[in-house]
Copies of this chain bind each other. A is one copy, B any other.
């Protein structure tokens, strides 16, 4: 199921290694969502990331789990219950992305770019 091989070649620098784990259409948002809510279930994430497909969501979550960013806790219940949360590394990564988010907000403002309505998290 793994769509992203664990990286073919070596990394070039820290930014390269940092960008690698967040490159993915929804990863930044997953990080932000898990940081603000601390614990989220699969369906909650799916509703929060409007437009994401179930396939992409599970794929991204698995990759982020493999990268040590999110923790996945499965309850042996029926119906199934799975809870996602950030690991310590995921939390520090989210903090490291703070300045980039601020820069991005500036960019949105100064270029008058379109932003999805409903939610405009200031993250």
Contact = CB atoms under 8 A, between A and B. Distances in A.
A47 to B, nearest CB: 14
Interface string A25-54: 000110110000000000000000000000
Query: Which secondary structure dominates where chain A touches chain B?
Result: helix
B99 A13 contact: no
Q: How many copies of this protein are present in the complex?
A: 2
Contacts of A1: none
A101 B15 contact: yes
A112 to B, nearest CB: 11
A122 interface: yes
Interface residues of A, number: 48
Given A96-B103, A99-B96, A100-B96, A116 B10 contact: yes
A56 to B, nearest CB: 14
Nearest to A50: B12
Interface of A: 7, 9-23, 28-29, 31-32, 68, 89, 92-93, 95-108, 111, 113-116, 119-123
